[in-house]
Amino acid sequence: MRNFIYILLILSGFVFNEVIAQSSKISEFNIEATKFSVDNLGYFYFVNGSSLIKTDGNFDTIARYSDKTHGEISEIDVSNPFRILVFYKDFNLIVFLDNQLATLRDPVQLDDLGFYSVDAVCTSATGSFRLYDNQSSSVITIGKDLDIIQTGTNLYSIAGDYNAVKMRESANFVFVQLASGYIIRLDKFSNFSNNRFCGDGICFDCFNDDLYIINESSVYGLDDQNNITFYYNFEPLKIRDFKIRADKLFILSEKSLITFKIL
C-alpha cells in the first residue's frame, strides 16, 4: 500500500516534501472502544457495544448514555454537538441526544418512514439527517418534520449490490463509503461528483471538504479533484477508527486512543 501511495504522489505531480507530513506523538489514553468521535468543541465520544461515553479534552467523563433495548450502537455523528445522532442499524432506528447525552425526542423508526434497508446515516445541515437507502441506491435527506426534502441520484452503477459502510457530510459534499472499497463524493444535493477506489480494510474522515483515508500504517488526504494533498506514515497499528482535526490526528487502536500533532 505504501508503494502504491508513492506512485500516486508522483503521478499527481506533487513534490514529496510538499505533501508528506511530519508529526509527534503527544498522548495516549487507555480505553477499549469500537469507534470514537471528537466534536468541534474538543469533546470526545467513545462507543463500546450499547454504551456511549462523552469526555472532555483530558478524557474525564462528562456524560454516559446506554440503551440495551436497541442493541449495539452502529454509528454516531457529532457534527452538531448539541444534537448528536446515534444509529442502531440492527433495529433500523436513530436516537438524537443533547450535549449531556439525554434524549431529545422519541427514537426515529426508519421503517415508519418507509425505509426498510438503510445502510448508513449522517447528520445534515440542510435538514435533520441523511440516509443511504439500499433499495434505491441513493442518498435521501430527511427534514426536521421527518419528511423527504431531497433525493440524490441513483448510484447503482457504482454501488451495485454492495452496502454502504459509512456516510458523512462536510460543508459542500457528502461522502459515502461502500463495502466494495469505493468512496463516493456527492455534492450537497446528494448528486454524484466523483469516486475513489481505496481498497478493503480502511476507514475515512472528512475535514474542511477534504477526504482523509487511513490504513494500518498511513493516512492521506484528497481534495475535491482527488489530488493527494497530505500524506503521513506511521508505525503499523490495528486501527479501529480515526479522526483528523486541524493539526491533530487521533487514532483509535485496540486498547487506546493515540494523539499525534501534525507538524
pLDDT recorded at residue 202: 78
pLDDT along the chain (263 residues), means of 10: 42 47 84 96 97 97 96 97 97 98 97 96 95 96 96 96 96 96 96 90 89 91 92 89 92 94 82
Sequence-distant (6+) residues with CB within 8 A of 151 are 136, 138, 139, 140, 141, 190
Strand partners, 47: 35, 52
CA–CA distance, 241 with 15 (Å, rounded to integer):
29
pLDDT recorded at residue 23: 66
CA–CA distance, 84 with 89 (Å, rounded to integer):
16
pLDDT recorded at residue 151: 96
pLDDT recorded at residue 263: 72
Strand partners, 27: 259
Q: Kindly report the pTM of this predicted structure.
A: 0.90
pLDDT recorded at residue 4: 45
Helix, strand and coil in the chain, % to nearest 5:
10, 50, 40
The set of cell numbers assigned to 92 is: 433500523
Domain range annotation of the chain: 1-30+214-263
